[in-house]
Structure 1
């Protein structure tokens, strides 16, 4: 049951990667979209619902504009079948466990869930006519499995009413959040700085500021060039810090910490202090309770003293 179209977690006060993913999903969905946002929290409920009506899932990512466009078209096409399907979306960046469970190798990818059993449909792009043909095949398979009911996606307004309203952010945190949304990282950092002046123990502001600084430093960096410069100048603190920034942003946290700790051990004076400060800032990005941070803090203390 397939067509052959063309193939194709930073923590803290503000999760910049999650924010980008949220904006991508919002932009890709029609205003009247009724597709289910598939998460680990509702996966069991969705699987149970698939025993009554087949569910077509689009696996998307903020890094793949094509996946958002495909999911939006799929939502419209599923609606043509008047309740014989439900449409769902799964953000593989926010839900890596689900992506792994469904063995999603690349996005966009589309699967069906029939009687709690996943059925791969296609990967990459597809025309509306190709998608309709696949949906017709899904209906045939679902009928053979006795899944012939109809359903409707949970009403967004009802879901929202059942969830408690999040507490508003403190004014300066909200100012920083708004600046991040508009891409003004300098203004966001300034807002967090003012928050820390008001309360030097504001851990969320410190983490948010560290993330904003990291985003600003890595926004236009060329990973290949950065790694080449670090390899050519192994004892240059600036070159090593640039690679460490890219590693943390890419999730290679331990590699970043080891690189900077090794450089601390071969430097002195102002260069060593700059490296220490960068490590402390990256600790804030990752989170003080993270085991990798606790281990690196101990190693830093040993290297310094």
Structure 2
């Protein structure tokens, strides 16, 4: 895990290391003052700087990046989740990142970046596909991973990040006040009545979070057996089956095979699955449409059916699905 200095020329006016250093000095002063007050008997209750658990996960944009990420990174490692509403793999990864951040209890925070609304940030981080996850510690960037990865791998990565922050920069994180959200809980709106398949859908989500892709697939199939038109189950099943297919792939080998065998339907189908999981939606669709052009019979049907399955992962209303459907129709008819 090698850091690099943050340089965001054109997005925010930084001297990133200088800003982070100043913020770190202030944080150290605040901690020293809190320790002094505690030693004098004034340390009852949470420190003035304690934050509620809800503050550990937040949205960030280009305008607030220096304040909300770079300066904060002098006090706590800031994990950056680059996502978009249309990105279905993001919808699998983001809730997991949020849960693990809250579990970390102030040792890290999570800043969510909507790439559609923050194109310059996406460009500055040189992001090729989403979801993409980085960290910023003391104004320095640490690339973490891209695409959906297993929960255990994320836990290990966050533990390593915390260790780097403590050992290299002396950053120990934020104090969390678990009692700060009582009022918010009381004023929360009542939940909607549970639907007939909510328990099964929840079981599928729990299985996904635990890395039990087979269990998630079966749970979604159980819903669809009783309610074939259930949109949430159809989408979840398509996503879970995609993740199960790529779970044990060797990405380098798959991409090398696809490059060497452009007419091999199996090689192109596998590479398209990896493209989609990595957030390269148009690449995945284009790869399979191009393969349909050069295949025939059962091979062509196999490629076409996989493309239709990937449409389910993204959703019929997505404009990229509409464009790909049109392109597919052109080569088929």
Superposition TM-score tier, normalisation by shorter sequence = 0.5 to 0.7
State the partner residue of 1:100: 121
Runs of 5+ consecutive residues of structure 1 not aligned to the other structure:
9-31, 77-87, 112-119, 136-150
Indicate which of 104, 109, 120 corresponds to 1:89.
Answer: 109
Match of 2:78 in 1: 59
Pairing 1:276-291 to 2, within 5 Å after superposition: 276-291=304-319
Partners of 1:45 and 1:259 lie apart in 2 by 38
Deviation beyond 6 Å, 4+ runs, structure 1:
41-49, 103-106, 121-124, 151-154
Q: How does 1:236-255 map to 2 (within 5 A)?
A: 236-255=264-283
Over 3 Å counting, the alpha-carbon distance change for 1:6 and 1:299 in structure 2 is closer
- Structure 1 residues 6 and 127, CA, compared in 2 at 3 Å: closer, same or farther? farther
Matched, 1:156 2:181: yes
Deviation at 1:190, TM superposition (A): 1.7
CA distance in 1, matches of 2:280, 2:286: 10
**Inter-CA distance 179–210: structure 2 relative to 1 (3 Å threshold):** same
- Gapped runs of 5+ residues in structure 2? 5-49, 82-92, 127-132, 143-160
1:302 match: 330
Q: Which residue is equivalent to 1:7?
A: 3
Distance 2:73 2:246 in 1: 43
Deviation of 1:104 after TM superposition, in Å, equals 7.0
Tell me how far 1:192 sits from its aligned partner.
Answer: 1.3
- Distance change in 2, residues 1:237/1:184 (3 Å): same
Q: CA deviation at 1:243?
A: 0.4
CA contact (8 A) 1:39 1:95 kept: no
Secondary structure (helix, strand or coil) at the match of 1:90 reads strand
| Native 8 Å contact 2:78 2:111 kept in 1 | yes
CA change 1:42–1:57 in 2 (3 A) is farther
- Counterpart of 2:46 in structure 1 is none
Partner of 2:130: none
User: 2:302 is matched with which residue?
Assistant: 274
1:197 to 214, 225, 233: 225
SS at match of 2:77: strand
Distance in 2 (alpha carbons) for counterparts of 1:130 and 1:270 = 58
Change in Cα spacing, 1:132 to 1:177, as seen in structure 2 (3 Å) is closer
Aligned to 2:170: 131
With normalisation by structure 2, the TM-score equals: 0.56
Per-residue displacement from partner, 1:15-58 (whole Å, max 9, x unpaired)?
xxxxxxxxxxxxxxxxx984522423899999999xxx999453
Q: Structure 1 residues 176, 6: CA separation in 2 closer, same or farther (over 3 Å shift)?
A: closer
Deviation at 1:291, TM superposition (A): 0.8
Q: Which residue of 1 aligns with 2:56?
A: 37
With 165-174 and 262-271 compared, the bigger mean Cα shift is at: 165-174
Q: Which has the higher contact order (CA 8 A, sep 6+)?
A: 1
Residue 175 of structure 1 pairs with residue 203 of structure 2: yes
Paired position in structure 1 for 2:284 = 256
Contact 1:287–1:293 (8 Å) recurs in 2: yes
**In structure 2, C-alpha distance between the alignment counterparts of 1:180 and 1:261, rounded to whole Å:** 30
8 A Cα contact 1:57 1:90, kept in partner: no
| Contact persistence 2:76–2:171 (CA under 8 A) | no
